Structure 1
Amino acid sequence: MSLQTDLLIHHSTLQVASDLDEMATVVEWFEQFNCQQLPSQMWIEGQTALIEGFTNAVRHAHQHLNPQTLVDIAVTIDHNHFQICIWDRGEIFDLEAALENFSQETSDRNFNPLEHEAHWGCIFLLKLRIDYGWTVSYIREAEDRNCLLLKKAIFN
């Protein structure tokens, strides 16, 4: 019999309206994951990614939807991974193409991120992926939902 190595340490979900005023609720809820199983730097990266992902869901994915449209969030910590999922009900968006585009642009030494304010989220997610080892994906799921998946291995 093999030992299960992905034993769940912590899992929680949250549903909030598609409203930036809900940010305080989201940030307060996320505090529960500031625990000794996560290095503090990883928790800060995750919190920043959560804030960016939630903001993108509200400002972009749900911009033409009713403000009561729900944003679903789930965070899971097991012995190997820290994972954040943010679901929206917006149109399909090709995050991979956007990240590839910004990967090329940011490699130009004349690139100025201040000229790309509307795309800071993509630039940040690209940095998380390249510089900090996060898995970043955005996929269309059943029920016309999209999931922004943010995942990082925990090294003890």
Structure 2
Amino acid sequence: METNLLIHNYSLQVASDLDAMVTVVEWFDQFNGTQIPYQTWLEGQTALLEGFTNVVRHAHSHLSPETPVNLEIQISPEYFQICIWDQGDSFDLEAALEKFNQETSQREFDPLDHESQWGCIFLLKLRKDYGWTISYIRELDNRNCLLLKKTLTIS
């Protein structure tokens, strides 16, 4: 069995507090200028901040602000992956993305009328237009994982 020794793992745990966003941004800055193309890094940063904000505002809204949010980055020559774990209730992200896929394809769709759903609209755009794999999975330990993965093109 061959293992890829070129996979680098990075993790961070922060409280469910929007003030922790500064820590998240500073932590993620270390990945800018690595083997990740700048455009991919920028897309990933935006998705990370949207995912973290959704955990605080939605998934953990009924929990203590000290409830941890776990973040993990994996970088390999083949992919760039972001995982965000929360302890909120289960949520059907696929259904939400499909709903917005149908709505955004209608001519009269105005994103300004859907401010509270901009996160789903953004994730849908990352998936459709920029090739990100996006899933939200309920883990066995009753946590949820938002998985954001981008295949890196080898130059």
Same-fold call, TM cutoff 0.5 = yes
Percent identity of the aligned residues? Answer: 67
CA distance in 1, matches of 2:137, 2:35: 28
Decide which of 11, 14, 26 is 1:13's aligned counterpart: 11
Q: How many Å apart are 1:10 and its aligned residue?
A: 2.8
Unaligned 5+ residue runs, structure 2? Answer: none
Q: Which ranges of 4 or more aligned residues in structure 1 deviate by more than 6 Å? A: none
1:113 matched to which residue of 2?
111
2:61 matched to which residue of 1?
63
CA distance in 2, matches of 1:21, 1:103: 32
The one-letter code matched in structure 2 to 1:88 is D
For normalisation by structure 1, the TM-score amounts to 0.95
Decide which of 140, 143, 151 is 2:141's aligned counterpart: 143
1:88 is aligned to 2:91: no
Counterpart secondary structure, 2:12: strand
2:127 matched to which residue of 1?
129
The one-letter code matched in structure 1 to 2:40 is M
Cα deviation per residue 1:34-88 (whole Å; 9 max; x = unaligned)? 1331110000000000000000000000000011000000001001000000000
Unaligned 5+ residue runs, structure 1? Answer: none
For normalisation by structure 2, the TM-score amounts to 0.96
